[in-house]
Amino acid sequence: MRRLALVLAVAVAAAAPAGSRAGEDEGVYLGPRFRWAEMPVLKRVLHDVVAIPANAPRWSAGEWAELALWSGAVGVLMFPLANPRDAQLDRWIHRELDPRLPTVWTDWMQPLLWSGIAAGGLGTWAWAVANGNERVAQGCSLMGEALAVSQIYHLTFKFALGRDGPWDGDQSGDIKGPANALRVYPAGTPSGHAATIFSLTTAGLSYFQPRGWVQALGYGAAGTLVAFHVIDHRHFLSDSLWGSAMGFYVGRWVVRHRASPLDDAGRAVRAPRAAIVPLAVPGGAGLALVVRN
């Protein structure tokens, strides 16, 4: 049963592809009325959690290939369960790298990093709203949306599996189920840190589309932080790979399906809406079709 649960979990969530094919926007909870200009962020998050798996039948062959690639890599690292390859790698890191490398994810570094990200993101969003900059406000909102969705997915699977972390039990990454999840949290699989970093990075870079060297720098920094999370024995490699893939694809999906197009003035283009309203006419009354652009 453990192996079956693991295989199902990896197959479903290791790397949810970006969603429906380019140019298509009809599907479960997809379309103009679910985009940024039409729906507040909390409602979008709830729709996203359902829409991503519900639209899986519409994925392209390439997107299924992406899922197979990422889930296969995670599965190879987590099996065999008695002595998984990522636990073997963790022991090698203890032996070969610990004496040579500094600890990056220290107790003071984590609150500094997360508080800096929160202050920067919320501060930028507040500035954009106050100044009517819809492009920046939308980008910050989509980044927050991607973060929230990836956290819901990550916590669901982490608490369902209850996998030991590198410092727990016999340090072999045993999967013990929900009862173990709270005991070892924030260890477990997938990695919430990796999901957070890659959901924010991918959503931001996908939306703002900076120059290539900026994107390379952004993904390089994200990858380095996640790599040191493994080197510092906060997570096994498969945990971080799974979380990174999840954050990457959720971030890309959110920008593709929830961003509203902008006009030349940088204002979000709202979807047309039609309504039938009463209309007074000489000698009687009628109905009128009102369309909002």
What is the per-residue pLDDT across 142-176, written as a single tens digit (0 to 9) for each? 999 999 999 999 999 999 999 999 999 999 999 99
What does pTM read for this prediction?
A: 0.85
How does residue 234 score in pLDDT terms, banded at 50, 70 and 90? very high
Beta-bridge mates of residue 292: 273
How does residue 285 score in pLDDT terms, banded at 50, 70 and 90? low
Distances (CA, A) of 263 to 33, 93, 125, 135: 17, 52, 20, 10
CA distance 66 to 153: 18
Question: Is 80 exceeded by the pLDDT of residue 20?
Answer: no
Residues near 27 by Cβ (< 8 Å), separated by ≥ 6?
A: 20, 51, 54, 55, 58
How does residue 4 score in pLDDT terms, banded at 50, 70 and 90? very low
Beta-bridge mates of residue 288: 277
Question: Is 60 exceeded by the pLDDT of residue 122?
Answer: yes
Phi and psi for 75 in degrees, rounded to 5?
-65, -40
What is the per-residue pLDDT across 191-233, written as a single tens digit (0 to 9) for each? 999 999 999 999 999 999 999 999 999 999 999 999 999 999 9
Cβ 189 vs Cβ 236: under 8 Å: yes
If one compares 18 and 46, the residue with the highest pLDDT of the two is 46
CA distance 230 to 210: 29
